[in-house]
Amino acid sequence: MSPEPLWTVFVNAALVNNFVLALFLGLCPFLGVSGRLETAIRMGTAVTFVMIVSSAAALGIDRLLIALDATYLRLIAFIAVIASTVQLVEMFIKKVSPVLFRALGIYLPLITTNCAILALVLFQTTKGYGLVQSLVYALGAGTGFTLALVLMASLRERLELAALPDLTRGTALALTLAGLLSMAFMGFGGLGG
Amino acid sequence: MEQPIPPDPTDAPVPLGEEFRKGVWRQNPTFVQVLGMCPALAVSNSARNALAMGLATTFVLVASNVAVSSLRRFIPRQVRITTYVLIIASFVTIVDYLIQAISLDLHRALGAFISLIVVNCFILGRAEAFASTHGVVPSFFDGLGMGAGFCWALLSIGAVREILGSGTLFGVQLFHDGFQGATVMLLPSGGFFTMAGWVLLLNAVEQRRSRRAAAAPLAAEGAR
């Protein structure tokens, strides 16, 4: 178990090494569903939930793989865990809130291919986090992801009414905004060691 | 995941050269479809890393396209996505160990992003949208074309960032000794800015072309 205190784990994952803006993870939903604030918050919540569940599940699976001396299966096992968690969340949301289910649309199954989640699971394995640390790490990463998504969505909602040249609308504008946000997040460097 | 994806409208036999070309330009995975962005931005801080990543992804893409397309009659519809992901994950594991064997330095530079090829959404996208409805040979060329498109996109981002950020290209020094690189290009934000620049440029080219295409019939009319 790595000796890192819990609050640095959290701050590191949420701000300093923000998964989206510093590590370039989970960019597809970041650019895809950041058009509206409300959807962004829901997406962030769903991803955070999937992160926490798969983080705990992956930890157990990793122990099992080490015991079986089959670590080369790690990647395949992890992706299977994530896919099943997403399936679970999908069924849950569909039952509990059909409105949210429709709002998230195609992006819900696509959480499976959200690289932020697989990366989270891989990083926590490499860093040798224990159970509590892993959960805090997942929570931090999810918070960071939600934060980035919400910031981006608010910016884009405001810019919707701005007079912009046609050419810059869409991807180019979103990327430039992301670049500026990412520069702002550089300011967190050094925080949390 | 229940909604069936409509079959590709290009189900009629298409020349293989066209399958290849569409990935390179018209449906370029990075610049046009904006898929698979994470590796495109994360490892493109030098041209060498970008090229290595591009080649690794191309290999996985071609291999998984061929595998999915040859198994397409045996994969049950309900579990197809899981099956695709498992097929892709197996090839990624191969590439991971291969790169580790070839160059440990490269493996360290690319880091977790080799494993993350698994969740590169455009590989899964090609499996679902193309390979599952097409034969082995077209799928092979489709994978090759998309891979080539991804490679040149990555390379063009990586080259710009390396030239502006450290004044080198593939590690060869381009400017005089006193050159001070713009560090921002090597930071994550530089990746976003470079990509935004390329998208703008390609948009402008595409817009000019469509304008000219719209103007062409009118000009012919006037000449008559």
Among candidate residues B50, B161, B112, the one with its CA nearest the CA of residue A116: B112
Instruction: Using pLDDT thresholds of 50, 70 and 90, give the confidence band for residue B60.
Output: very high
| pLDDT given at position A39 | 80
Model confidence at B7: pLDDT above 60: no
Is the CB of A28 less than 8 angstroms away from the CB of B192?
A: no
Query: What residues in chain A have per-residue pLDDT under 50?
Result: none
In a domain, B151, yes or no: yes
Q: Which residues make beta-bridge pairs with B169? A: B172
Report the range of poorest mean pLDDT among A8-12, A178-182, B16-20, B159-163. Answer: B16-20
Consecutive H or E run containing B173: strand B172-173
Q: Which amino acid is at A36?
A: R
Residue A189 to chain B, least CA–CA distance (Å): 12
Spatial distance between the Cα atoms of A21 and A152, rounded to a whole number of angstroms? 11
In a domain, B8, yes or no: no
Question: Which pLDDT tens digit goes with each residue over B206-218?
Answer: 888 888 888 776 6
In a domain, A45, yes or no: yes
Domains in chain B, number: 1
The whole domain housing A15 covers 6-186
In a domain, A20, yes or no: yes
From the list A24, A80, A113, the residue facing B119 with the nearest CB is A113
Question: Is residue B6 within 8 Å of residue B129, measured between CB atoms?
Answer: no
Residue B72 to chain A, least CA–CA distance (Å): 20
Instruction: Using pLDDT thresholds of 50, 70 and 90, give the confidence band for residue B9.
Output: very low
| pLDDT given at position B181 | 75
Average pLDDT of chain B, as a whole number: 81
Question: Is residue B113 within 8 Å of residue A25, measured between CB atoms?
Answer: no
Question: Which pLDDT tens digit goes with each residue over B184-204?
Answer: 888 888 888 888 888 888 888
In a domain, B1, yes or no: no
Domains in chain A, number: 1
Is the CB of A26 less than 8 angstroms away from the CB of B86?
A: no
Among candidate residues A179, A125, A138, A173, the one with its CA nearest the CA of residue A2: A125
| pLDDT given at position B192 | 87
Question: Which pLDDT tens digit goes with each residue over A137-164?
Answer: 999 999 999 999 999 888 888 888 877 7
In a domain, A191, yes or no: no
The whole domain housing B161 covers 15-211
Work out whether the CA dihedral B37, B38, B39, B44 comes out positive or negative.
positive
- Enumerate the H helices of B46-187 as residue ranges: 47-70, 80-102, 104-110, 121-126, 136-166
Q: Which residues contact A174 (CB under 8 A, 6 or more apart)?
A: A31, A34, A152, A156
Is the CB of A175 less than 8 angstroms away from the CB of B195?
A: yes
Q: Which residues make beta-bridge pairs with B173? A: B168
Instruction: Using pLDDT thresholds of 50, 70 and 90, give the confidence band for residue B2.
Output: very low
